[in-house]
Structure 1
Amino acid sequence: MSPLSTVLQEKYAKIQDETWGCVVKPILLLLSLLTALPIQAQTRLNMTEGVTDISQKVYGLHMTILIICAVIGVVVFGIMFWAIIHHRKSKGAQAAQFHESTKIEILWTIIPFVILIAMAVPATKTLIAMEDASESDLTVQITGSQWKWHYRYFDQGVEFYSLLGTLPQQIQGQVAKGQNYLLEVDHPLVLPTDRKIRFLITSDDVIHSWWMPAFAVKKDAVPGFINEAWTRINEPGIYRGQCAELCGKDHGFMPIVVDARTGAEFDDWLANAQTRQAEAKAAEQELLAMQMSMDESMALGEQTYQKVCAACHQANGEGIPGAFPALKGSELILKDKAAHIHIVLYGKAGTAMQSFNKQLSLKELAAVITYERNAWGNDTKDVIQPSDIEQARQGQ
């Protein structure tokens, strides 16, 4: 063998080694990682598959696009680094001199186009399926307000508010935080697992967003508009979400909890809820004839105030200057009882003061107004009765 042939063989072997290290090895490493992706799919660094067919389609689409992007990245960077190493100046490489290449331009236009079409087809199918809320078995209206959710089951006579269930002492760091800190509510949304559920989502005040990752449902709640979504849950269980729109100072205290039950269990719950709400309405009518004492009103009123009013107006009634008015020494409270009742019942347009007419019972409304009129030195001596609230409602 001639010395020239030996040199050429050595150079060829060196090129093979460099190509293996720069291109082949990374590609093999990528392929090994991709084969392990389904196994690692449920780690905290990745999306979850969820418990609905749509959420699993979204997860599959996510994994498909991720793999395509990863392969493109490795191939492109592999070729780029190979070219840099094998055509570097120190090896005597000379830069090619050319202007335009119709073949290359056609190639780098067609290849991305084909890849995008391949990605767009499954993505479009999934998006169309996500928007098809037709032929639903149950409709639930979801209304966001600062900072709670209101749920109403159409044609079932059941509706309720769902508020943060985490204790204030946990938020203030006075006691240990629970397992579901800031992700627990007093009344979860109860849904069946054997039916298609349609959501009608809107808002009373600002823009909220109802987000349930396990269902792959995320829809904005916009005042004056109704957005539509749907789900069909495959597995019973407790699922947690949050408001995903920055909706004000207590945005982080607006969780969503769904209690998914089998069809029979849901039917039992719905029947019991209908009975409880009918009994509550009958009990409210009986309240119209009762007379609450000052002590009873102040005790219940303080509890209600701390639950629904103190976040804005503060526990001491002094409010937050420039944001929420003080109730302590308020001219409206001290001098205009009718206006005080009206603003608690119906809120004030253009402000954060929302309506509590449907959020609180007759007794709670009367008690909290009594408390505000007599706490912090206001001392009007007025005791508001449930009949006063009903009269204000009739005179609306």
Structure 2
Amino acid sequence: MTQGVTEISGKVYELHMLIFYICCAIALVVFGAMFYSIINHRKSKGAVAAHFHESTKVEIIWTIIPIVILVLMAIPATKTLIAMEDTTQSDLTVKITGSQWKWHYSYFDQGVEFYSLLATSQKEIDGEAPKGAHYLLEVDNPLVLPINRKVRFLMTSDDVIHSWWVPDFAVKKDTIPGFINEAWTRIDEPGVYRGQCAELCGKAHGFMPIVVHAMSEDDYDAWLEEKKVELAQAQEDAAASLTVSLSMDELMASGEKVYLDRCSVCHQANGAGIPGAFPAIKGSKVVTGDLDEHINIIVNGRPGTAMQAFANQLTDQEIAAVTTYQRNGFGNDTGDLVQASDVNAFKVQEQASKEGE
């Protein structure tokens, strides 16, 4: 239990300590009376057990006293719970979407959204490199928030139940598919705050950290403008990539990075998959078969399985690279070379087909 860096986290801490002290006092009275009776009214001292029937007075006393104690505990607890659920009059709204195994952050009315993935290297995880100071608690894109502003969170999930938990904010809320949960925070101090998914959400549950970078209001506003420029530039680069043809070596190098970042958590770094859970890439009939079907699965995923749709998570260039890597790595050696224009052409044809229906 930490006092945290928000008013609510402070109230939760104080409530926790208040209830703890009340429980200690109750334990002291109950066990004190019990041990006093055992020691001073034992048979060896000649004590004789009294014989009596129920007492209405005693029944009333030991019913009223617990009720009074519970009411005294419920009043501050209710006030804190009501405050925790009051998401009104927020200054900023962020949608948080959990998926296996990453977080998607979308800033409402700002045009900014991005995915946040584990940044700990596979070599650290495999024990082939020294573990960093924030092992399994570091991400490539942290959630950036301003201090002294009320931030409202809308939380949901793409697949299974996750739980967004940052102890320093006293925020822990389940993200449930097809359902929207709400929470909020107002951070008092700038800093970097870390949390984790607190719901057993599958194989890589422990590889789904949360990092929040709290900035001063001016620094946050400047970051937001920089992020908008960065995302706009990324869109321009994605459009420009459609006219560029990369070599096999370039695609394989880029594809390997995408694969290790996005695919290896399920299909394994060696492409062997996990029998009964995640199919192997090595020797896969999909990977070595029809190219359009392979692209289709990466772009649209497979409903009812853990295979997600990556159409909005990866650029056409990244999809082309990882497709090329899968079709030529792990001994598959199909010789197929996929360009961003091929992926874009597939999407255009798919869209035209849907409109024709």
- TM tier, smaller: over 0.9
1:346 matched to 2:300? The reply is yes
- 1:49 alignment counterpart: 3
Q: SS of the residue aligned with 2:54?
A: coil
Corresponding residue for 1:360?
314
Partner of 2:240: 286
Q: Percent identity?
A: 64
Letter in 1 for 2:149: R
1:223-302, aligned counterparts within 5 Å? Answer: 223-302=177-256
Moved more, 73-82 or 172-181: 172-181
Q: Distance in 1 between the 2:335 and 2:124 partners?
A: 35
> Structure 1 residue 375 and structure 2 residue 329: aligned?
yes
Runs of 4+ in 1 over 4 A off after TM superposition: none
Q: Given the alignment, which residue of 86, 95, 99 partners 1:132?
A: 86
Structure 1 gaps of 5+ residues are 1-46
Question: Per-residue deviation at 1:393?
Answer: 2.4
1:335 maps to which of 281, 285, 289 = 289
Letter paired with 1:135: Q
Deviation at 1:186, TM superposition (A): 1.0
1:294-322, Cα deviation, whole Å (9 max, x unpaired): 22111111121122112221233222211
Q: Is 2:96 the counterpart of 1:153?
A: no
Distance 1:382 1:49 in 2: 56
1:310 and 2:248 aligned: no
Residue of structure 2 equivalent to 1:13 = none
Compute the displacement of 1:380 (Å): 2.4
| Residue in 1 that maps onto 2:355 | none
Q: Take 1:318 and 1:175, find their aligned partners in 2: how far apart are those partners?
A: 22
State how far apart, in whole Å, the 2-side matches of 1:123 and 1:376 are.
57
> Any idea what SS the aligned residue of 1:290 has?
coil
Bigger drift between 323-332 and 125-134 goes to 323-332
Give the corresponding residue for 1:389.
343
Shift of residue 87 of structure 1?
Answer: 1.2
SS at match of 2:273: coil
- In structure 2, what is the Cα distance between the partners aligned to 1:175 and 1:375? 24
Q: Which runs of 5+ in 2 are unaligned?
A: 352-357
TM-score of the pair, normalised by structure 2: 0.96
Cα distance in structure 2, aligned partners of 1:82 and 1:97: 20
Shift of 1:61: 0.3
Asked if residue 173 in structure 1 is aligned to residue 173 in structure 2, the reply is no
Residue 335 of structure 1, CA deviation: 2.4
The secondary structure found in structure 2 opposite 1:272 is: helix
AA partner of residue 240 (structure 1): R
Residue 288 of structure 2 aligns to a residue in which SS? Answer: helix
2:12 to 58, 76, 94: 58
Q: Could you list the per-position Cα deviations for residues 344-392 of structure 1 after superposition, in whole angstroms to 9, with x for gaps in the alignment?
A: 0121111111122222222111100011112233222221111222222
CA distance in 2, matches of 1:172, 1:61: 41
Q: Partners in 2 of 1:379 and 1:224 — Cα distance?
A: 41
- 1:330 is displaced (CA, Å) by 1.9
Whichever of the two has the greater Rg, that structure is 1
Aligned length: 350
